[in-house]
Chains A and B, each alone.
Chain A
């Protein structure tokens, strides 16, 4: 138990350190002055702060050290294009991304896992084949193309749903938490219900676009796990003990299937985040992905650096935590090899 925790903690720390190192070296790889690339400010003779001093001296180790120190203090540098502090910008855009990711992954879990179970139990039956071919088609869709297709059909042709943004400009909802639905519910806006309806309409297409592929992946993963568990000796044995199906399912199948699904879901997190970022761009969803792509267009090096660092850290953190949890709740972990 403690062993596993320490192991994963080390793994996360080391990975984050490497990410920091890469983000720092980006400042040198980008064209221009490294100090400017790192902070978004010019290095003048009278710029104060230890980082500026380290750059004037040319001591790379010190530069890295003070860079990390600045990061931990929330001193993330300034954007080239807007000259605003990146810290504030990130925390304005991050909630939108988290919101979209949350809805999309919830939708995928709610649809993908039960359908996968159904397909697994009806292995080699018509339902199974239907689900499998459907999910095969679904995973083959490129995300950006699917997003455009959705816009084309539901926004432009049928005119049912809005094609971009998060909320119509008509509604002026004060941002408190940054999560649009929560903000609307908590606000005292006179047209609160209409705003909520509008926000949900804006959410539908991006959520579908993101969860389309994720659902298919979850479905396939779950189905495989169920089929594997159902074929094991111990399930066969439980059946020969004459236990009713619901007992076998809830006590033996579910737990073992989940134990093998969880680490696979952890791997999917990076795909999920990538898809969210692409979808944000297509739908002009004001999240980190959209913001980062804008930064790349504008060669806003400090923004690119911090965006890349943040997104990769989040992915690493969540993926490893999920894996660590699945390791911790797996009673047979002792006789499995560690990563």
Chain B
């Protein structure tokens, strides 16, 4: 069953009086029970997709989409109350910057306990409920690997190290036992052991509780250990999408290829001392977007035709948007 179905999501931001498309026809599907990786270099718009799904965008930004549904219900047209209900119980989000996402004037305990849905709280009297809430909170914090849970809950976000806040955000997302977890770079800056713990928690929840995960990250090693499917985003356009192994072994899009090659430990058949193959230049800013395929100026395979935006083509489960894909002959056959 398809949980999240996003087709041609376009997000327009006003910048210096002109509308620019920060997201240009991005598409993404999240199936029940899968772990999908969303990758792309910094500034590709990954966080924007996360915010668009969770409804955390500033109201003046224009969101349009051919389809943006949760279990078939249109997220863009539903009432605020309906959307809030979905966000309360079904979709949980871990945002990129944990310290900014926490209220600076409330202790972490307040913020965690208020997120616990009433249904999970045992007891009839308020002190019983309070006790029950605290128990839930402590056990959750333990689960994400916070040792001194008392200390953590008694403090404010700015008083704690960033990695504790990161774990805390993950705990807060998991507290409602969601169907989908959207995690925007949840392991950024974590040390290896901590990271492994978080990743195995995710994998575990995915297996035992059937938690679907949209895992946004740069960390290809982490992704390769858990992702079933992968979506590659470049500059607001989804460039490639498909089962993880297939995308990794035979990327069609030059950008995906460069991305895979840029992670040396990850690249399967990297010769010793071969030069790192990466694209020259940097991701364009929103003010200077190229027309057509946005990779154009950096693409080694670019030709004249690339000033037209390529449409997305599909081979088996594998979608790409490129006029001159790799690993395919002229007729588009593998």
Contacts and interface: CB of A to CB of B under 8 A. Distances in A.
B260 interface: no
A237 B95 contact: yes
Main secondary structure on A side of the interface with B = helix
Contacts of B88: 241-243
A244 B87 CA distance: 11
A256 B104 CA distance: 8
Contacts of A239: 55-56, 84, 87
B104 A331 contact: yes
B133 to A, nearest CB: 14
A255 B58 CA distance: 22
Interface string B76-102: 000000001111110011010100111
B141 interface: no
A323 interface: no
Interface string A221-248: 0000000000111111111111110010
B102 A241 contact: no
A242 B106 contact: no
B172 A241 contact: yes
Interface in B102-129: 102-107, 110, 114-115
B156 interface: yes
B103 A238 contact: yes
Interface in A49-66: none
B132 interface: no
Contacts of A244: 84
A147 to B, nearest CB: 40
A41 interface: no
Point out which of B84, B86, B102 has the most chain A C-beta atoms below 10 A from its C-beta.
B84
Interface in A138-161: none
B142 interface: no
Contacts of B54: 240
A236 B52 CA distance: 12
Interface in A14-62: none
Interface in A284-339: 330-332, 334-335
B313 interface: no
Interface string B23-53: 0000000000000000000000000000100
Contact of B115 (A234, A236, A243, A259): A243
Contacts of A236: 51, 56
B103 A241 contact: no
Interface string A210-230: 000000000000000000000
Nearest to B90: A242
B103 A252 contact: yes
A126 interface: no
B71 interface: no
B130 interface: no
Contacts of A242: 84-89, 176
Among the interface residues A239, A244, A331, which one has the most CB atoms of the partner chain B within 10 A? A331
A254 to B, nearest CB: 10
**Which of B55, B100, B104, B114 gathers most chain A CB within 10 Å?**
B104
Given A231-B58, A240-B54, A335-B158, A256 B103 contact: yes
Interface residues of A, number: 26
A225 to B, nearest CB: 13
Contacts of B60: 124
Contacts of B55: 239-240
B158 A232 contact: no
B85 A233 contact: no
Interface in B163-215: 172, 176
B70 to A, nearest CB: 13
Contact of B100 (A234, A256, A330, A335): A234
B249 to A, nearest CB: 36
A334 B103 CA distance: 15
Contacts of A235: 103
Given A234-B102, A241-B87, A256-B104, A332 B158 contact: yes
Nearest to A257: B105
A237 B56 CA distance: 7
Given A240-B56, A243-B115, A251-B110, A259 B100 contact: no
Contacts of B92: 241
A244 B93 CA distance: 17
A332 B156 contact: yes
Contacts of A252: 103, 105-106
A240 B83 CA distance: 9
B97 A259 contact: no
B114 A247 contact: yes
B179 to A, nearest CB: 13
Contacts of B105: 252, 255-256, 259, 330-332
Contacts of B107: 331
Given A233-B100, A234-B102, A251 B114 contact: yes
Residue in B51, B103, B106, B172 with the greatest tally of chain A CB atoms within 10 Å? B103
B180 to A, nearest CB: 12
A239 B105 CA distance: 17
What are the 7 tightest A-B residue pairs by CB atom distance, in nearest-first order? A242-B88, A242-B87, A233-B100, A236-B56, A240-B54, A237-B101, A332-B104
13 contacts: A232-B100, A233-B95, A235-B103, A237-B56, A240-B55, A240-B93, A241-B92, A241-B172, A241-B176, A243-B114, A251-B106, A252-B103, A259-B105
Given A231-B58, A234-B100, A331-B104, 10 more contacts: A233-B97, A240-B56, A242-B87, A243-B84, A243-B88, A243-B114, A243-B115, A247-B114, A252-B103, A332-B104
Interface of A: 124, 231-244, 247, 251-252, 255-256, 259, 330-332, 334-335
